[in-house]
Amino acid sequence: MKKKAVILDYGIGNIKSLENLLEKLNYSVCLSNKKALIDNCDLIVLPGVGKYNRAINNLKKNNLFNYIKKKIIKDRIPTVGICLGMQLLFEQSEENINCKGLNIFKQKIVKLKSANIGWSTINFKDKNKNELYKNNFYYFNHGYAFNRNLSFSKSFIANQYSINAIILYKNILGFQFHPEKSQTNGEKIFKDLIKNII
């Protein structure tokens, strides 16, 4: 039987490539903000692309803000955050300083000096992982990120941005880049790292 993945619907578009990636990994996928579907899923995905405050406000509008926090923290449902989806897990963002995030990580997302758009390699803290992925390029598209060292950060971009590219903490996997738009390299790294949370 296929595992069920719910891509959380908080009012952003452009999720077809994410659906395709999850389906390739043998997930049954739906886009939803319905608690009944989320209650029965094996994986929650917080997608990227969009405005920080719009995503948070839509979660609250649909009575999902505290519910999702509980599913992630207390129920330990495996959760993947991509780009904006990863940033929502933090306390707040300079994109909308008065809009509080899910506050699972008590740090602040900051505005970059210039938007980071395009393809980049990443460096893993783990030497074996770094050797495995050092020549692979991934697609980034964001103007905000977390740029301080984290104990649960697994990799970073070693260019002028110096941001965390991947975080891994208990049942949470976060990508600042878009694995679903990074072709075979993105599929490979997603498939490899998701094993750590399921």
SS3 annotation, 79-138? EEEECHHHHCCEEEEHHHCCCECCCCEEEEEEEEEEEEEEEECCEECCHHHHHHHCCCCE
Burial readout 132-170 (b: 16 or more C-beta within 10 A, e: otherwise):
ebeebbbbbbbebbbbeeeeebbbbbeeebebbbbbbbe
Which residues form the catalytic set? 83, 178, 180
> Which residues partner with 153 through β-bridges?
167
Contacting residues for 84 by C-beta, under 8 A, at least 6 apart: 12, 46, 47, 48, 49, 50, 52, 55, 142
> 3-state DSSP call for residue 165?
strand
Token pair belonging to 19: 């659906």
Cβ–Cβ under 8 Å, residues 101 and 91: yes
